[in-house]
Amino acid sequence: MPDVTLRKIVMSREEIYHEGGPVADTPLLRGSILAIIQNPYAGRYEPDIQGFMDDLKPLGLQMAQKLAGYLGGADLVQGYGKGAIVGAAGEIEHGALWHVPGGYAMRELLGDAMAIVPSTKKVGGVGARLDVPITHINASYVRSHFDAMEVGCNDAPRADELALALVMTTGGRIHSRAGGLAAEDVNGKDGLR
């Protein structure tokens, strides 16, 4: 079974105070963590790849813990998302290996969050950026929490690497006023509403 070989970790945190409207008392925090690892399947077609999902679980949990800590603790996290950029010698299917370890790590850490973790993935060159979608952790339809965060690193992913991302937020958009389901009205049973 391939080992996870980590080359770099890149963490980003934004504190958002306003976007032209009233200044928030508590800024919205948006954070990301990106792990640059070796792609064990780069350069060839490998039919059986599922074992790598298990290998990625400890990394996923470590990343989720580190990111939640960077935002002030898991109890402050209200939105999340995940994504992957596959280096050019890999295939999009390799990015799909991140769904389980990335998603479950965050859901476990955040006290069994109900909502599916929104995600995106692509194959990209060094310096590629990825817009990672974000939704509310317990109810996907909460409109104020639909957001996204751009991630990337100037020297990654190299052709034989994967860049795996988790993102978290501590609230909805800073001037959210587009209606829809509000966070305080969530029933939190089905992960949707």
Partner 1 sequence: MSAKIRKIAVNVEETHIEIGLTIAPPTRKAVAVAVIENPFAGRYQEDLGELMEIGAELGALLGQKCVEALGITPAQAESYGKSAMVGENGELEHAAAILHPKLGAPLRVAVEKGAALVPSSKKMGSPGQVLDVPLGHKDAAYVRSHFDGIEVRLNDAPRANEIMVAVAVTDSGRPLPRVGGLVASEAKGEDGLR
Decide: residue 55, CB within 10 A, 0-12 exposed, 13-18 middle, 19+ buried: middle
CB-wise, 2 or 111, nearer to partner 1?
2
Task: Work out which of 1, 25, 112, 154 binds partner 1, going by CB under 8 A.
Answer: 154
Binding of partner 1 at residue 54 (CB under 8 A)? no
Closest CA to 142 of 121, 113, 109: 113
Task: Work out which of 17, 51, 125, 185 binds partner 1, going by CB under 8 A.
Answer: 17
- What is the total count of residues that contact partner 1 (CB under 8 A)? 21
Q: Which of the ranges 16-24, 56-64, 133-141, 181-189 carries the binding residues for partner 1, by CB under 8 A?
A: 16-24
How far apart CA 182 and CA 193 sit, in angstroms, is 9
Binding of partner 1 at residue 71 (CB under 8 A)? no
Task: Work out which of 8, 99, 122, 143 binds partner 1, going by CB under 8 A.
Answer: 8
CA distance readout (Å), 150 to 14, 15, 18, 55, 171:
11, 14, 18, 26, 17
How far apart CA 129 and CA 105 sit, in angstroms, is 23
Binding of partner 1 at residue 12 (CB under 8 A)? yes
Q: How far is the CB of 154 from partner 1 (least distance, A)?
A: 5
- Residue identified by tokens 């829809």 is 180
Query: Helix crossing, 99-109 with 51-70: angle to 10°?
Result: 40
Q: Which of the ranges 10-18, 39-47, 138-146, 184-192 carries the binding residues for partner 1, by CB under 8 A?
A: 10-18
Return the biggest CA–CA distance within the chain.
Answer: 54
Q: How far is the CB of 132 from partner 1 (least distance, A)?
A: 12
Q: Count CB neighbours of 31 within 10 A.
A: 23
Q: How far is the CB of 150 from partner 1 (least distance, A)?
A: 5
Interacting positions 73-112 with partner 1 (CB under 8 A): none
Q: Which residues bind partner 1 (CB under 8 A)?
A: 5-19, 27, 70, 129, 150, 153-154
